[in-house]
Structure 1
Amino acid sequence: MKPSLFLGICLSILTIQPSYGHLSDRVQEEYNEDLNLRDLPDGKLLAHFKFTTKVKAKTQANAPLLDYGLYPKAIGEILQSYKVHEMHLTFTQGRWNYEEWGYPPTLSAGTGVELWAWMKDSNNIDEHWKSLTNTLSGLFCASLNFIDQTLTTEPRLSFKTDSKDTDKRLRYGALPHENVCTENLTPWIKLLPCKAKSGIAVLLNPHRIYNSNFHSMAIHAKSICVVKSINKDEACTERVLELEQTITSVMDPVRDTSRRDWSLESVFDRQLKNACPVAKESKVSVDLMNAGTDYELKPATTVQDNVAVYKLSKSKEPLDIRMTWNQPSFQYPLEPVQPMIYAERYFTGYGQERGGLRITIRNRNKSSAMPVIYYDSIPWYLKLYLHTLKVNVIGNNSADNDDIIQEMYYQPAIDRGRPSMIECQLLLPADSVTTISMDFEKVFLKYTEHRPDANRGFDVGSAVLTTWIPANNNGLIVYGEAQRIYTDTLLVSLPTPDFSMPYNVITLTCTVIALFFGSIFNLLIRNFTVVEVKKDD
């Protein structure tokens, strides 16, 4: 070996050594990626991506939050700069069909953009909220900066947190008319440690994801306080930052081939080649609950609790999961899923002056009553009348309507200042249909407050129901994690002036002024002289 080559190798090893030492300092970081595939009863395919990053943060005062490695610096600086304990941002397009698909695996299924955050209670919390929306707007190329005071609420009963921090307050805002596109997905992918170069994120093909019946992209960031002492009043001795990025998409193989057969390559137009090098666990799981019995899954793998699991770290070849059924064509099922708690919300009345809001909640649990928290934020231009609130129960004659609402919080709207907010803690009787109705009056807006497509109407965000689905544990009824149910967004038509009349007036006025001005200007500046005409001899 040449001395120069040997010297170069030694220098390379010495240069690489610090980087390995730097990686060994990151034993407190952990990154996992998971993809869950599930066949739905109507032949569609549900794909749920989940990427989780955890890291221990510093608790010293006036110190940087952490030395950023796997955890994205953009999110960490947002949490530290605006005193955010917990943040949930969701971009959703499409409608989740509860009656046929059941409950979604994601926390939010409301159309548009939804943002809610628990922030440190201080005098400038509203300024921090405004800065947070503007920063996220620039980070994800969205219109989050339009979430101003007229769209912001502070729920009291919904969106609870399990954090041990007590000095925090909640802010919630939504944009139901916001569209979702690749401009939002690209910065979202850049937050992943391996981006879309390797691992499960390779399957995030925007052409296929945005061609689905439903897709939801979310970021859930938490700053978890850990107290290693018996006395719970002590300050945090350790703080863990957790970032969970999820993408939920509902594909439709039957639409193109009339069969429910699918594969990773046919659905995403890509294959899984390897796992992300920094991932502790990288796996793909296939839920066989709705697959039936006449199916074939390739490549073969172990199946436990009706779930087939593929670990990318053990795969030496590109992984292309295929699932086929021995059926000539897909037979659409006639029986819906019928979730235990289901809600619908719609407008009542007619005309451009008054109307009503009605929400119908169905409890299909035949054995016991179900606790539900109903949250709704109504824009300020729909003035609710609380004295018209009515509750009606169908299907349980012994239930008293006055006992349905156990607790209620109502915040009236301020014109051009804040929306109306109503929260009700309900106890739905077993096997019943509960209807809540309320009247409102439509406000006549200024012509400058109308949108360019004024005759289309204004979007009203989804109502949110929070419930706890019971489970049977050795004869005991145990309530699990909170499940949120989102209603459809509504479109309200407000009194709209005829915007063509100002155009006609402006056109006619400009024409008259032009003719008048031209004539007067011509008379003022033109010099009239007598011209003698000489006759030719």
Structure 2
Amino acid sequence: CSLQAGLAVLLKAERLFHSSYHSQAVHIRPVCRGSHWFAQLPCGGFTDASCLAVSWELRQTLTVVFDFFSSGQGKKDWSLFKMFSRTLTDMCPLASQSKVYVDISPKNKEKELLEVSPPPTSVHEAVVQGERKTYAVYDLLSPSLFNTSRSLNVQLKWKRPQDSSEMPIPTLHAQRYVGGYGLQTGEICTLIYNTHPYRAFPVILLETVPWYLRLYVHTLTIITKGKENKPS
């Protein structure tokens, strides 16, 4: 469908490059095609005797972050049109699944604090990092979604101002900054925080290094709870 229909309509280069962060990734993995099931193969090899055929799955992802709270004078309202300067106009007829998920999880259990429009086609609940999340789901393949209008502009609005202007901090979050100057004292510092009271989470860290910084493996330092972790 290229940029004519479906979620790809939102991929306007001018808006993506002016976001706070964007990245693209390509994931390739072997999958086993059985007679009645479709499962990922173990990394060690093709050891499942019930595997009838092997295929390769290609998955492309695009991650974009818009910081409207900082750029919008503390306002948390947003919409697809504000972010991408476009709205969803139609589904892609070649897609077998096309959905938009909006996190509407209440803060401090105040469910009446925010609202999304138009009404979602369904609501989905899931546990993410030990916390229960609620998502408004817009199924672009649902015929009723585009019946009233040929344009879908998902919006989230706060019904009343919050008591605090600070954004809620996720359970797992990170901060990064560049310090020092020159090849001798220049450094990248990445701080990863886990505020969960007892649970640990696996973390895969991918750094985007500025072109003017040169990295040396022997200067890598990992500190956890004030103690240095030396690679084995």
- Per the alignment, residue 287 of structure 1 pairs with 103
Q: Residues of 1 paired with 2:8 and 2:66: CA distance?
A: 17
- Per the alignment, residue 140 of structure 2 pairs with 312
- Per the alignment, residue 83 of structure 2 pairs with 267
Is the Cα contact below 8 Å between 2:171 and 2:194 reproduced in 1?
A: no
1:309 Cα deviation from its structure 2 partner: 0.8
- Identify the match of residue 155 of structure 2 among 303, 308, 322: 322
The structure-2 alpha-carbon separation of the partners of 1:338 and 1:346, relative to structure 1 and needing over 3 Å to count, comes to farther
Is the Cα contact below 8 Å between 1:258 and 1:329 reproduced in 2?
A: no
- Identify the match of residue 339 of structure 1 among 172, 177, 183: 172
Is the Cα contact below 8 Å between 1:258 and 1:330 reproduced in 2?
A: no
2:66 counterpart letter in structure 1: M
1:250 Cα deviation from its structure 2 partner: 1.4
Moved more, 284-293 or 329-338: 329-338
Structure with the larger helix share: 1
Quick check: 1:241 aligned with 2:74? no
The structure-2 alpha-carbon separation of the partners of 1:276 and 1:380, relative to structure 1 and needing over 3 Å to count, comes to closer
The structure-2 alpha-carbon separation of the partners of 1:355 and 1:290, relative to structure 1 and needing over 3 Å to count, comes to same
Q: Residues of 2 paired with 1:328 and 1:299: CA distance?
A: 21
The structure-2 alpha-carbon separation of the partners of 1:329 and 1:208, relative to structure 1 and needing over 3 Å to count, comes to farther
Q: Residues of 2 paired with 1:357 and 1:253: CA distance?
A: 26
Deviations 1:287-321 (A, max 9, x none): 11266532221111332321111111222332221
Which residues of 2 match residues 2-401 of structure 1 at below 5 A?
194-224=1-31, 232=47, 237-254=52-69, 255-256=71-72, 258-289=74-105, 293-301=112-120, 302-305=122-125, 306-314=134-142, 315=145, 316=147, 317-318=149-150, 319-327=152-160, 332-333=165-166, 336-337=169-170, 339=172, 367=198, 382=216, 384=218, 394=226
2:53 counterpart letter in structure 1: E
1:333 counterpart letter in structure 2: E
Is the Cα contact below 8 Å between 1:298 and 1:323 reproduced in 2?
A: yes
1:328 Cα deviation from its structure 2 partner: 5.8
1:334 Cα deviation from its structure 2 partner: 6.7
Is the Cα contact below 8 Å between 2:104 and 2:114 reproduced in 1?
A: no
Q: Residues of 1 paired with 2:222 and 2:138: CA distance?
A: 52
The structure-2 alpha-carbon separation of the partners of 1:204 and 1:345, relative to structure 1 and needing over 3 Å to count, comes to closer
1:259 counterpart letter in structure 2: K
TM-score by length of 1: 0.30
2:57 counterpart letter in structure 1: E
Deviations 1:168-224 (A, max 9, x none): xxxxxxxxxxxxxxxxxxxxxxxxxx1111111101111221111111122223343
Describe the SS at the equivalent of 1:323.
strand
1:310 counterpart letter in structure 2: Y
Aligned length: 199
Deviations 1:347-374 (A, max 9, x none): 78x9976899988776656547777789
1:286 counterpart letter in structure 2: V
- Per the alignment, residue 523 of structure 1 pairs with none
Describe the SS at the equivalent of 1:337.
coil
Deviations 1:122-144 (A, max 9, x none): xxxxxxxxxxxxxxxxxxxxxxx
Structure 2 runs not aligned, ≥5 long? 36-45, 126-133, 208-212
1:273 Cα deviation from its structure 2 partner: 1.7
Q: Residues of 2 paired with 1:373 and 1:327: CA distance?
A: 37
Is the Cα contact below 8 Å between 1:295 and 1:323 reproduced in 2?
A: yes
1:249 Cα deviation from its structure 2 partner: 1.2
Describe the SS at the equivalent of 2:15.
helix
Q: Aligned residues: percent identity?
A: 29
Q: Residues of 1 paired with 2:172 and 2:153: CA distance?
A: 33
The structure-2 alpha-carbon separation of the partners of 1:356 and 1:199, relative to structure 1 and needing over 3 Å to count, comes to closer
The structure-2 alpha-carbon separation of the partners of 1:218 and 1:330, relative to structure 1 and needing over 3 Å to count, comes to farther
1:252 Cα deviation from its structure 2 partner: 3.1
Describe the SS at the equivalent of 1:281.
coil
- Per the alignment, residue 416 of structure 1 pairs with none
1:325 counterpart letter in structure 2: W
Q: Residues of 1 paired with 2:222 and 2:79: CA distance?
A: 51
Is the Cα contact below 8 Å between 1:259 and 1:329 reproduced in 2?
A: no
Is the Cα contact below 8 Å between 2:172 and 2:195 reproduced in 1?
A: yes
The structure-2 alpha-carbon separation of the partners of 1:266 and 1:257, relative to structure 1 and needing over 3 Å to count, comes to farther
TM-score by length of 2: 0.62
Q: Residues of 1 paired with 2:188 and 2:81: CA distance?
A: 46
